[in-house]
Amino acid sequence: MSKDVIITFALYFVGLFAIGVVAWARTRDMADYILGGRRLGSVVSALSAGASDMSGWLLLGLPGLVFSSGLQGLWLAGGLLLGTYLNWTLVAKRLRIFSQCFDNSITLPEYFENRFADESGLLRGLCALMIIFFFTIYTASGLVAGGKLFSSVFGIPYEKAMILGAASVLIYTFMGGFLAVSWTDAFQATLMLVALLIVPSLAFMEPSANMHSQTQLDLLGTLWPKGDGPSPIIAVVSLCAWGLGYFGQPHILARFMAIDSHKSISKARAIGTTWAGLAMAGAILTGIAGTFYFKDGLQDAEKVFIVLVQRLMHPSIAGICLAGILAAIMSTADSQLLVSASALSEDFYRARLRPKARQAELVWVGRITVILVCLVAIYFAQNPKSKVLEMVSYAWAGFGAGFGPTLVLSLFWKRMTRLGAISGILTGSVCVVVWKNLHGGLFDMYEMVPGILISTIAIVVTSLVGEKPGEKERTFFKRSIRLL
């Protein structure tokens, strides 16, 4: 391992620590720790949302999918790009306004509770449990990616490498909360994009990349899935359906709630969608470049980006690009840890145990929760053979089906009720868990699709057959609509 790589990583960590220190000084209460006081600008909001969305799968999972399965990855990228745009267009502005109008809600569970005037605490508690369950798995996927990175770069055992990556994320998230997470995410989004554009460009310039076989061309030319897996239609629908998951991801939705004004949404949408398009194009090109460069394949397809960097670049530049992988991992894991902390500190501790707790106490409860969730995620990330994309897909589907229909309908349908929201969250998340364990025929479809359909039906039917929304709900809804 080169000293240049070590120096690059060291400087990277020093920069993150400095951001954490500054954010620590600006974190005064729980609203600061969870939402940054709702004062993020459009650029930081857009880049932070993109970086927290893509995670390690962008530099490991997606290039690995293209490397092993060809251009089928375009279906996945296309669905995600469309989902990014629609999320900014349909959800961002309304959620920013609604979350503030409904008693200045600072977490997604709190928004649902206030939106549907749920005094029982059932809706908020259910949402918090879902967040902790699926985000523990999601965070674990990031730690797996970090373990693979540090193991490859530093030549240390996977378990130690994974713990090193976890500690890196934990330090500045613990210190600075949402401000630290958002500022570092914006920086890391830039680093990720630079790495994804440089690596495939250098790979295609190599003379060996111009030498190809018919087998490689056939693989890359296959947009329509083949083989012994799911039927082509089910496979394509499953890949495109990833884009539907955006409407229910708490760590992305938090950026919409935290932006300084709903008037900043249009600019943020343009920046965020452009960044996502360029980043995924770079990831796909990396997978294609790897197909030509490594004609005999790789033992682990998800390491194609890492190996290309190590083979093609001077150590000092390689360190920057490898830090891009770390940026992708950390920019998502930190957001997940923070949302999990908010679920426990705000939606359990303050809402149920200590309603009159002081703000300083709540901030420290949030920080302690970050440590606890990280430790559980480390436990689930111990297997080095875990596939990053598979772990992400499960958690992504859980949030997409559990929260997505509930959130969208809560922003657009005034007739929706508390029982409708509860039934939608329950049926969507349970469907994902059950469907994931069934195989063959229609059950090979990505669990996101049936989960969203069943959740939507449950919300509509339950809302229509039950009591109409109360006066408080109707008043807040009308007030929010007038601000659009």
Q: What is the pTM of this model?
A: 0.86
Q: Return the residue matching tokens 């969608």.
A: 273
pLDDT digits (tens, 9 = 90+) for 65-106: 888 887 888 899 999 999 999 999 999 999 999 999 888 888
Q: Which residue has the higher pLDDT, 86 or 152?
A: 86
Which of 370 and 468 is assigned the larger pLDDT? Answer: 468
pLDDT at 379 over 60: yes
**Other CB atoms within 10 Å distance of the CB of residue 279:** 26
Separation between Cα atoms, residue 114 and residue 103, nearest integer Å: 7
149 pLDDT higher than 80: no
Higher pLDDT, 277 or 23: 277
Residue 307, burial from CB neighbour count under 10 angstroms (0-12, 13-18, 19+): middle
Tens of pLDDT, residues 398-425: 999 999 999 999 999 999 999 999 999 9
Q: Which residue ranges form the domains of the chain, and what is each CATH number?
A: 3-385 (1.20.1730.10)
DSSP 40: B
Bridge partners (DSSP) of residue 40 are 259
CB atoms closer than 10 angstroms to residue 277: 16
Question: Quick one: average pLDDT of 204-220?
Answer: 60
Q: What does pLDDT average to over the chain?
A: 84
- For 347-360, how does the pLDDT look when each residue is reduced to its tens digit (9 = 90+)? 878 777 787 788 77
